[in-house]
Chains A and B, each alone.
Chain A
Amino acid sequence: MNLESGVGRMESFLRGRRDDGAKLLVVYITGGYEGWEAAVETAAAAGADAIEIGIPFSDPVMDGPVIQEASQAALEAGATPSSVLAAVPNLDTGVPHAVMTYYNLAHHPGHERFAATLANSGIDAAILPDLPLVESGPWRQAAAEVGVETIMLAAPTTPDDRLPELCAASQGFVYAVGLLGVTGERSTLASTATEIAKRCKNVTDKPVLTGVGIGSPEQAVEASVVADGVIIGSAVVRRLLDGGGADGVGELVASYRAALDAG
Chain B
Amino acid sequence: MVMTDPNKEGRFGEFGGRFVPETLIPACEELETAFRDAWADPAFVSEFHRILNDYGGRPSPLTECYRLSEQLGVRILLKREDLNHTGSHKINNVIGQALLARRMGKSRLVAETGAGQHGVATATAAALLDMECKVYMGQVDVERQELNVFRMHLLGSEVEAVSSGSQTLKDAVNEALRDWVATVENTHYCLGSVMGPHPYPWMVRTFHHVIGDEAYEQCMKLMNRVPDVVVACVGGGSNAAGIFSGFADTNARLIGVEPAGGAAVGRGVPGVVHGMNSYLMQDEVGQVQEAESISAGLDYPGVGPEHAYLSSIGRAEYPAVTDQEVVEAFQLLSKTEGIIPALESAHALAWVVREAATLQDQAVLLNLSGRGDKDVDQMMDVLGTENNQ
Contact = CB atoms under 8 A, between A and B. Distances in A.
Contact of B185 (A135, A153, A180, A182): A180
Most A-side CB within 10 Å, residue of B22, B165, B270: B22
Contacts of A157: 22-27, 184
Interface string A173-189: 00001011110000000
Interface string B276-292: 01001010011111000
A59 B288 contact: yes
Between B21, B183, B185, B273, the greatest number of chain A beta carbons within 10 A of the residue's beta carbon is seen for B21
A177 B25 CA distance: 14
Interface stretch (A8-16, A88-96, A104-112, A199-207): A104-112
B362 interface: no
Nearest to A82: B285
A177 B286 contact: no
A75 B181 CA distance: 25
A129 B177 CA distance: 13
B286 A155 contact: no
Q: Give the interface centre of B170, B270, B272, B277 by most chain A CB atoms within 10 Å.
A: B272
Contact of A180 (B170, B184, B271): B184
Interface in A70-101: 72, 75, 80-82
A181 B19 contact: no
A109 B21 contact: no
Contact of A107 (B26, B171, B272, B274): B272
A135 B185 CA distance: 23
Contacts of A59: 165, 170-171, 174, 273-274, 288
Contacts of A159: 26
A129 B22 CA distance: 8
Given A180-B182, A182-B178, A152 B287 contact: no
B371 interface: no
A33 interface: no
Interface string B73-89: 00000000000000000
A103 B27 CA distance: 20
A108 B285 contact: yes
* Interface residue SS majority, chain A: loop
Contact of A132 (B18, B171, B269, B273): B18
B386 interface: no
Contacts of A57: 287
Given A59-B273, A104-B273, A180-B184, A132 B25 contact: yes
A262 interface: no
A174 to B, nearest CB: 11
A156 B23 contact: yes
Contacts of A220: none
A68 B22 contact: no
Given A72-B164, A104-B271, A182-B178, A109 B22 contact: no
Contacts of B185: 180
Given A61-B174, A180-B184, 17 more contacts: A57-B287, A59-B170, A62-B21, A68-B164, A104-B273, A105-B287, A109-B286, A129-B21, A129-B22, A130-B21, A132-B25, A133-B22, A155-B23, A158-B22, A181-B178, A181-B181, A182-B178
